[in-house]
């Protein structure tokens, strides 16, 4: 019996020593894991100073490794539970990981904002090339620069791309200030042109020309100002000056059907039917529904004895005038057609 008791005591002693060894080993592994995780995070330095994408992604990876290390720490019930440091570090590192992911998201959004701003700026710069331009073009250029700057302004101060955005914003503001001056002048030119149109309607052609001179000085790209100045000169029987203004309008806007039509009328008044006919042809080519151009060209054909062409143009004009609701002019065209047919 005594031999059996001694054997039991020895067995129990071995079991106790084994358990103590297992506890010691478990705690040793725990401490090493905590130290490893702590080192992984501390080696990253001040996370607030990291802004480069690759460094942020590396920090994200290291913190994820640290969290994984802590999550896999071995434990024993009661005798070797997870140390308090594990819980504290898990909370701390999870917070850091959230911050890194937030910064990565901010950086991605910031980069997208900067790229979008650069595209708008490039588009605005391209559009502003080779002035003069109309007020509509300057307005579009102005809006694009505004949109580009707004994208940069909206990048938050705590974004890793904030400094880059601010640097670009300073450059864009300089360009915007220059464009804004052109845009403001263009708007003033539009106002002067509108005022001149009322003066033309009232018969004050000289004052209208004075306003239009100021308009084209403010914005040499104001096509309507040249057209209206041509009209004013025409009313004053200054045909050469009128044609010169229509020439300028065509130079600025080669596809403006009105400019060709007005110049054609001026050539016709000056007795130059061939040039008038060429410009009416161009006006109709640019605007196949230009009723007045068909009407006037029809009269030229009639005067030149080309009855068939005259009837075709006058009929086309009559059809278009009817659709446009100008019944009085339509009736005039139809009457001329009937007169031509009666003379055949």
Tens of pLDDT along 7-45? 555 444 444 444 545 555 666 666 676 667 666 666 666
Q: What is the mean pLDDT of residues 184-203?
A: 97
Q: What is the mean pLDDT of residues 110-135?
A: 95
Mean pLDDT, rounded, for 254-267: 97
pLDDT at 80 over 50: no
Going by pLDDT thresholds of 50, 70 and 90, the confidence category of residue 298 is very high
Looking at the predicted structure, is the pLDDT value of residue 309 above 90?
A: yes
Cα separations (Å) of 45 from 34, 55, 123?
Answer: 18, 11, 42
The residue ranking higher by pLDDT, 16 or 46, is 46
Mean pLDDT score of the chain: 85
Residue 166 pLDDT? 96
Q: Is the dihedral of CA 30, 35, 36, 41 positive or negative?
A: positive
From-to residues of CATH 1.20.58 in the chain: 2-109
Question: Regarding the domain with residue range 120-343, which homologous superfamily does it belong to in the CATH classification?
Answer: Tetratricopeptide repeat domain (1.25.40.10)
Residue 155 scores a pLDDT above 70: yes
- pLDDT cut 70: percent of the chain above it: 74
Q: For the chain, count helices (H), then strands (E).
A: 13, 0
pLDDT at residue 88 in the model:
62
Query: How high is the pLDDT of residue 78?
Result: 42
If you average pLDDT over each of 25-29, 76-80, 139-143, which comes out highest?
139-143
Q: What is the pLDDT of residue 101?
A: 77
Q: What is the pLDDT of residue 66?
A: 66
Residue 16 structure tokens: 């106790």
Judge residue 104's burial from the number of C-beta atoms within 10 Å of its C-beta, 0-12 exposed, 13-18 middle, 19 or more buried.
middle
Structure tokens at 161: 């791309």
pLDDT of residue 252 exceeding 90: yes
> What are the C-alpha distances in Å from 212 to residues 183, 187, 204, 225?
17, 13, 12, 6
Average pLDDT over residues 184-197: 97
Report angle CA 122, 127, 131 to the nearest 5 degrees: 130
What residue ranges of the chain are covered by domains with CATH 1.25.40.10?
Answer: 120-343
Q: What is the pLDDT of residue 82?
A: 46
CA distances from 273 to 232, 296, 298 (A): 22, 11, 12
Determine which of 108-112, 217-221, 276-280 has the lowest per-residue pLDDT on average: 108-112
Which secondary structure element, helix H or strand E, spans residue 200, and what is its range? helix 162-201
CA dist., res. 145 & res. 162, Å (int): 19
- pLDDT range class, residue 83, cuts 50, 70, 90: low
Q: At the top level of CATH, which class does the domain 2-109 belong to?
A: mainly alpha
Enter the pTM of the model: 0.73
Residue 104, pLDDT score: 77
Query: For the ranges 23-37, 50-64, 255-269, 274-288, which has the lowest average pLDDT?
Result: 23-37
């Amino acid at each position: 019996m005594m031999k059996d008791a001694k054997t039991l005591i020895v067995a129990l002693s071995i079991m106790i020593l084994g358990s103590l060894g297992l506890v010691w080993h478990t705690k040793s592994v725990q401490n090493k894991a905590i130290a490893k995780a702590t080192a992984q995070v501390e080696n990253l330095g001040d996370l607030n100073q990291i802004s480069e994408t690759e460094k942020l992604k590396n920090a994200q990876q290291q913190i994820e490794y640290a969290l994984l290390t802590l999550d896999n720490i071995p434990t024993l019930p009661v005798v070797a539970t997870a140390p308090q440091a594990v819980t504290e570090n898990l909370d701390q590192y999870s917070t850091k990981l959230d911050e890194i992911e937030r910064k990565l998201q901010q950086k991605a959004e910031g980069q997208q904002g900067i790229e979008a701003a650069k595209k708008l700026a490039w588009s605005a710069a391209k559009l502003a090339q080779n002035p003069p331009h109309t007020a509509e073009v300057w307005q579009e250029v102005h809006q694009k620069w505004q949109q580009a700057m707004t994208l940069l302004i909206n990048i938050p101060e705590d974004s890793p791309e904030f400094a880059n955005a601010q640097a670009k914003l300073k450059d864009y503001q300089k360009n915007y200030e220059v464009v804004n001056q052109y845009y403001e002048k263009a708007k003033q030119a539009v106002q002067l042109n509108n005022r001149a149109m009322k003066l033309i309607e009232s018969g004050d052609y000289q004052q209208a020309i004075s306003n239009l001179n100021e308009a084209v000085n403010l914005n040499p790209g104001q096509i309507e100002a040249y057209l209206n100045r041509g009209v004013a000169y025409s009313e004053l029987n200054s045909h050469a000056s009128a044609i010169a203004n229509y020439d300028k309008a065509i130079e600025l806007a080669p596809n403006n059907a009105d400019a060709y039509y007005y110049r054609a009328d001026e050539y016709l008044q000056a007795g130059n039917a061939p040039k008038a006919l060429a410009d009416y042809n161009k006006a109709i080519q640019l605007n196949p529904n230009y009723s007045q151009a068909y009407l006037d060209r029809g009269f030229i054909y009639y005067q030149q004895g080309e009855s068939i062409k005259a009837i075709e143009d006058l009929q086309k004009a009559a059809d278009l005038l009817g659709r446009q609701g100008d019944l009085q002019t339509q009736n005039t065209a139809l009457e001329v057609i009937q007169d031509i047919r009666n003379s055949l």
